[in-house]
Amino acid sequence: SNFDVTVIKEENKDEALKQFRLHVIQGLSRPQKQLSSMYFYDDVGSELFAQIMDLEEYYLTGCEMEILRTHSKAIVENHLGDVSDSEIINVIELGAGDGRKTRVFLTALVIAGVKFEYIPIDISYRAMTLLGKSLEHHFERDALSVHGIVAEYIEGIRFVVDSRPRKSLVLFLGSSLGNFSKSGGVAFLREIGSTLKQGDLFMIGTDLKKNPEMTLRAYSDSLGVTRKFNLNLLSRMNRELGTTFDLKKFKHYASYDPMDGTAVSYLISTEKQTVYMNTSGATGNGDEPERHEFVFEAYEAIHTESSRKYTVESMHSALNSIGFAVQETYYDSQHWFADTVAKVV
Ligand code: AVI
């Protein structure tokens, strides 16, 4: 087959559940309650995110799609033009999702006659299989060689660099960097750079600062899909951790801070209430049953997500200061989103 998968670190379901539980206990016991947006993406959440990407108000996906449709040919010519005919390159992607955007770029590579192996990296084996199915559906059997890696991003990149010592291009699309904390994001980029070889390429998508009302609408859409997406975190905890969240007593609230350019999402308790977590049934590991309680005051909030927006200048100076040399930035026609190509120095 032209679609293989290597599992480096399979998601350990029991361990992941334990960590989720610990995260929830800690996050909801803080004076300012918080949960990580990482936990949005169970099967239901991933499906809801796919619906978000189809929304007009969630302009990010459409903009990046336009960039890839309009500029993929130029991106390939400008940055991979010097690759010799006999050379095979690694096209690594971090978190490809359903691959709808990647498809556009991969098609441009095929048309340009670039020889490459497409190497998506994802921690979820299931997500990887779904991506494989979608690619098999859209490409001829021999047009594309795909080797999925089930691993965390950095360990996946390290594996590729060690096992396939060729030129690599790493794709990190969709403004996912924006969900990291500021320092966490910088540290992550630095790590990517130091794992890759000199001369390797990195293409990163970033949502840009714009009219704050537009950004805000992207995170509080009129159909309420983002509301469902955020509230699914509560249902997920009920399903997996045996918590007693009543979804009717929480509301989704998004705000945008134009000063630091961050869209922030919250779940707000609409009344004073206590939520319980019964761990006996949830883990079933024979430990002493524990019961935690989380008290919510009326209108107390849980911070669930930050989505950082950038200026092109800030992105360039950040990349240039941590081991990359920015090559070029590509925009959609409205300049709402940017894909930046940088080289590892
Ligand atoms: C995945 N990530 C880039 C999305 C974002 O825009 O921060 C997740 C999302 N949250 C609400 N809508 C979309």
pLDDT in tens, 236-283: 999 999 999 999 999 999 999 999 999 999 999 999 999 999 875 545
Whether residue 225 is predicted with pLDDT greater than 80 in this model: the reply is yes
Q: Going by C-beta distance under 8 Å and a sequence separation of 6 or more, which residues neighbour residue 99?
A: 120, 131, 134, 135
Return the pLDDT at 95: 92
Q: Mutate which of 41, 46, 49, 217 to test ligand 1's pocket (most atoms within 8 Å of Cβ)?
A: 49
Whether residue 31 is predicted with pLDDT greater than 60 in this model: the reply is yes
Whether residue 226 is predicted with pLDDT greater than 80 in this model: the reply is yes
Return the pLDDT at 280: 58
CA distance linking residue 174 with residue 204, whole number of Å: 8
Q: Report ipTM (2 d.p.).
A: 0.99
Task: Assess contact for 164 and 149: CB atoms under 8 A.
Answer: no
Tokens in use for 62? Answer: 């459409």
Percent of the chain having pLDDT more than 70?
A: 97
Is any atom of ligand 1 closer than 6 Å to the C-beta of 305? yes
Per-residue H/E/C for 76-104: HHHHHCCCCCCCCEEEEEECCCCCHHHHH
C-alpha dist (Å) from residue 228 to 27, 33, 106, 125: 21, 20, 32, 25
Return the pLDDT at 334: 97
Q: How far is the CA of 265 from the centre of ligand 1 (A)?
A: 10
CA distance linking residue 75 with residue 341, whole number of Å: 8
Is any atom of ligand 1 closer than 6 Å to the C-beta of 45? no
Mean pLDDT of the chain: 94
Is any atom of ligand 1 closer than 6 Å to the C-beta of 27? no
C-alpha dist (Å) from residue 136 to 39, 127, 147, 331: 29, 14, 12, 29
pLDDT in tens, 155-189: 999 999 999 999 999 999 999 999 999 999 999 99
Residue that is written with structure tokens 């169970």 in the block: 42
What is the pLDDT averaged over residues 225-233?
Answer: 98
Does this model's pTM top 0.90? My answer is yes
Q: Which residues on adjacent β-strands are paired with residue 150?
A: 7, 122
Tokens in use for 154? Answer: 């950095």
Whether residue 288 is predicted with pLDDT greater than 80 in this model: the reply is no
pLDDT in tens, 211-224: 999 999 999 999 99
pLDDT in tens, 41-95: 999 999 999 999 999 999 999 999 999 999 999 999 999 999 998 999 999 999 9
Q: How far is the CA of 53 from the centre of ligand 1 (A)?
A: 9
Helix or strand (DSSP H, E) at 121: strand 116-122
